[in-house]
Amino acid sequence: MDKISGTKCPSCRKNSNSEFAPFCSAGCKDRDLLRWLGEGYRIAGERVDPMAMDQFSDDE
């Protein structure tokens, strides 16, 4: 487990580990993924109606 010098884990601010980069551990990596999946993180922009997304389907 090599530490990445000067890089901090975005979750807990400990030194990053090259095995889990940019995180320090599997736990921080998993917690970050869960935040994305649980909509804890959001990308700014206009709301999109899920029903309107059908127009972008490649099934046609």
Q: Distances in Å between the alpha carbon of 23 and those of 10, 41, 48, 51, 60?
A: 7, 17, 31, 36, 41
9 known ligand binder:
yes
28 known ligand binder:
yes
Instruction: Please classify residue 28 by burial: count the beta carbons closer than 10 Å to its beta carbon, then call 0-12 exposed, 13-18 middle and 19+ buried.
Output: buried
24 known ligand binder:
yes
Q: Which residues are known binding-site members for Zn(2+)?
A: 9, 12, 24, 28
Residue numbers in the known binding site are: 9, 12, 24, 28
